[in-house]
Structure formats: C-alpha cells, structure tokens
Amino acid sequence: MRKKIIAGNWKMNKTVAESIELVEELQRVHADQTAVDVVVCPPYTSLKSVSDILSNTQIHVGSQNISAEDSGAYTGEISHEMLKELYVRYVIIGHSERREYFKESDDLINRKVLKVLEKKLKPILCVGESLEQRESGITEDVVEKQIRLGLRDINPDMYSDIVIAYEPVWAIGTGKTATAQQAQDVHYFIRCLIKEMVGLDASNVVRIQYGGSMKPSNAEELLSQADIDGGLIGGASLDAVSFGSLIDSASRI
C-alpha cells in the first residue's frame, strides 16, 4: 500500500508573516494526522519560520528547488546543506515553470535528483506535456523522455523515496483539470514505464501525484484512481481551509 502524499507548492507567494499565518492555521487542525504525508513548500524566505512552527507536528516541509552543486560561487542558489539545516525533507525538482522560464534541462534535473537522493532528501520530480503536445498525440512520448532522463542512473532501491508529479502543463493554474480518467491513464503509463526501467518492486512503491488545478471539488475523484497517490497543489494550497479539505479527502480514500 502506498501512502498518499498531499503537497502544497506555494510558488512565489506569501511573505513570512503570511506564511506563518497559513501554517499556524493548518497545524491547528492537521498537526497530528498520520494517514497521509502532508508537505508544504513555501518560498525560501519563509522556510525557517515554517519549519519552526511545524517542528513538533506530522506536517513536513519541502523546498521548491535546489542547486545541483554542493557549495561555492553559484550566485542566487541554495544548497542541500542549507535546506537540511532548516529541516527540509522534500524537494520539488523540474517543475514546468522552471523548465519553461528558467530553461532547466532534463540533464540538470537529473543531477538535482541524484544530489537530493544522495543527501537523503526526497525528490518530487515533475513531468507533464503542454497543450500543443497533448493535441498532437505525443503526451506519452514527452512524459517518457522526461522520466527516462530525469531518473537516469537511479538505483531501483531508491524508488520508495521518489515521488513523481504528473502535471499536465495545460492544467496548471488554468482551472482546467485533467479528467480523472485522463490522469489515471498517464499515471498507469508512468507506472508501467518504471516497471520496464527498473522492475516491479520499484514500480509498486514509487508514488505518483497528480498536479494541475486540483481542488476540493475534484480531489476525491482524482485521488480514488488506482495509480494516483496524491496531489501537488498550487492555488488551492494557499488557503488553509481548501488545503485542509484536500488532506481530508486523501485520508478518507
């Protein structure tokens, strides 16, 4: 049985004061829940305050990015050591916004995944096709390439620490959600691909989240699908009530 994972990607939102307000509200209701893995990924500037508030709770902290390097002359970058000092456990890697606006390549993404696993953090590797790619019928090709390259050279034993987030780019922040069946089809494809790449055991334990306009009104149907093991949530994670409702949905299923 794979434990469901609900992760909030706050993107470039929330000042420190706003972050504190949000996690205080969240932990009042959800601090002790253990049915689901809950992760919040605030901007770097809020990591310390958020980690302090969540330190005695079951809610984990993640970052939205990481450097593939250890330390040194990399202006503007943040290392694994800096993140671990702030009790970060999960790291979002290769989000479509980073691929598109910051030109992150599959090769760089793979180096980040390898670094994160080496340093005993858990990667959330994002993959997904654009609208144009879906309409031209190449969704599976795109996702397969991102996964094969992003997870290159990773030991099959590591897959229990890996989360893959399938996020169709056309559904991110647009209000358009993939139907539960469209999402399930790609999740099943990904699980079969992992089986082909590294074997049945790894494909059974790897968790595959859906992301793209997941919200309280569509979460139950998505999370009920056999190969959907949770959600990576942007907009709906910025409010404690809606994010809390997604945690509740995941723990009921």
Q: Any bridge partners for residue 207, and if so which?
A: 163
- Can you read off the two tokens belonging to residue 126? 């994002």
Q: What are phi and psi of 9, to 5 degrees?
A: -105, 105
9-47 CB burial, b ≥16 within 10 A, e <16: bbbebbeeeebbebbeebbeebeebeebbbbbbbbeebb
Report how far residue 186's alpha carbon sits from residue 199's, in angstroms, rounded to the nearest whole number: 18
- Contact criterion met (CB below 8 Å) for 165 and 230: no
Q: Which residue, 159 or 166, has its beta carbon nearer to ligand PGA?
A: 166
Q: Which stretch binds ligand PGA (CB under 6 A): 23-31, 65-73, 111-119, 226-234?
A: 226-234
Q: Is 232 in the site for ligand PGA (CB under 6 A)?
A: yes
Q: Is 167 in the site for ligand PGA (CB under 6 A)?
A: yes
Q: Which stretch binds ligand PGA (CB under 6 A): 66-74, 100-108, 195-203, 233-241?
A: 233-241
Q: Is 64 in the site for ligand PGA (CB under 6 A)?
A: no
Binding mask 181-220 for ligand PGA (x = CB under 6 A): ------------------------------xxxx------
Q: Which residue, 112 or 198, has its beta carbon nearer to ligand PGA?
A: 112
- Residue in 6, 59, 172, 208 binding ligand PGA, rule: CB under 6 A: 172
